[in-house]
Chains A and B, each alone.
Chain A
Amino acid sequence: MSANGKPRSIISTDTFACVRCGLTVAAHAPDGARRNHCPSCLHSLHVLDRVEGGPSECRSRMNPISIAVLRTGDWMIIHRCSRCGELTSNPICGDDNQLILMRMAVRPLAQPPFPLEAFGDL
């Protein structure tokens, strides 16, 4: 509710510029949730401190490093801060770049530390 008692409009005109690709992004996703990463390059900004809680002083770029699948089947992006190494996980958004999501998902299988041929015999 806003100050004058009327319900706040769903439509928001807030935008932010992505720290990596410079794309101007609407701050709210189509489903109304607030975005925490660029839908084009999936990079984020380190503004929340997970260990201590509250805002972070770091404010540097967070790179997407992997995809995690929860038990519910939802995909999460794991971000790592390029300056302090902090890890965060954020749910993916409906308009996220799906080719980058897939590239992150298949990257471990492209560089396996053990031969995958043996799994064909199992």
Chain B
Amino acid sequence: MPRKNPGRVRPQQPKAVQRGERGDAFRCVGCRLDVPMDAPGTAHRNHCPHCLTSLHVDHRIPGDRRAGCRGPMAALSVTVRPDGEWLIIHHCQACGGLSANRIAGDDNALALLRIAVRPLSDSRLPVNALLAL
């Protein structure tokens, strides 16, 4: 479905250097799914479209591949850019680092929605505050 207000389209930078052997697929560390490298809507596939798990390979700059950690990164939460684009916040299970990654066109919608509604599913104080208005 086309978005109602697509806003300013920011073209993605192509990869300047190909680091190592660039295969056409990788195996997800979370669910062992074989994932093709080409993703619809993004030039950088950085998480599994099925279980949204990522791998901690970048240090400070996306794509620098300078992290020595290589731990699995689980999807922690979802945030929205001002232009309406969703980002997944990944949390490294080994070192506790965080990173924000754009969602791809073939990401599992059910898994994304499950993360997005997780704060609303517990009926503790904040939800009650909204209902009390």
* Chain A interface residues toward B at CB < 8 A: 50-51, 65-69, 73, 75, 78, 80, 87-89, 98-99, 101-102, 105-116, 118-119, 122
Interfacial chain B residues near A116, Cβ < 8 Å: 113
Q: How far is the CB of B110 from chain A (nearest CB, A)?
A: 8
A98, B100: Cβ atoms under 8 Å?
no
B97 within 8 A of A: yes
Given A66-B77, A101-B126, A105-B126: A87 and B89 interface contact (C-beta under 8 Å): yes
- Give which listed residue, A105, A112, A122, contacts B119 with CB less than 8 A: A105
* Closest residue on chain B to residue A106 by CB atoms: B120
Say yes or no: B116 contacts A108, CB within 8 Å: yes
| Interchain Cβ contacts within 8 Å, total number | 83
For chain B, give the interface size range: 20 to 34
Evaluate contact between A119 and B103: CB separation under 8 angstroms. Answer: no
Bound-state CA distance A102–B78 (Å) is 14
| Residues in A neighbouring B15, C-beta threshold 8 A | none
Contacts A108-B116, A111-B80 given; does A98 touch B125 at CB 8 Å: yes
Q: A51-B60, A99-B130, A109-B117 are in contact. Are A68 and B97 (CB under 8 A)?
A: no
Instruction: Output the nearest chain B residue to A118 by Cβ-Cβ distance.
Output: B109
- Using CB atoms and an 8 Å cutoff, list the residues of chain B in contact with chain A: 1, 3, 59-60, 76-80, 84-86, 89, 91, 97-100, 103, 109-110, 113, 116-120, 122, 124-127, 129-130
Q: Which residue of A lies closest to B85 (CB)?
A: A113
Having A78-B76, A101-B126, A102-B130, one finds 15 other A-B pairs with CB under 8 Å, namely: A67-B77, A68-B89, A69-B118, A73-B124, A78-B89, A78-B98, A87-B98, A99-B129, A105-B126, A108-B86, A109-B116, A109-B120, A111-B84, A112-B113, A119-B109
Return 27 A-B CB contacts under 8 Å, by A number: A67-B119, A68-B89, A68-B91, A69-B119, A75-B119, A78-B79, A87-B100, A89-B91, A89-B98, A98-B129, A99-B129, A105-B120, A105-B126, A107-B79, A108-B80, A108-B86, A109-B120, A111-B84, A112-B113, A113-B3, A113-B84, A113-B85, A113-B86, A114-B1, A114-B109, A119-B109, A119-B110
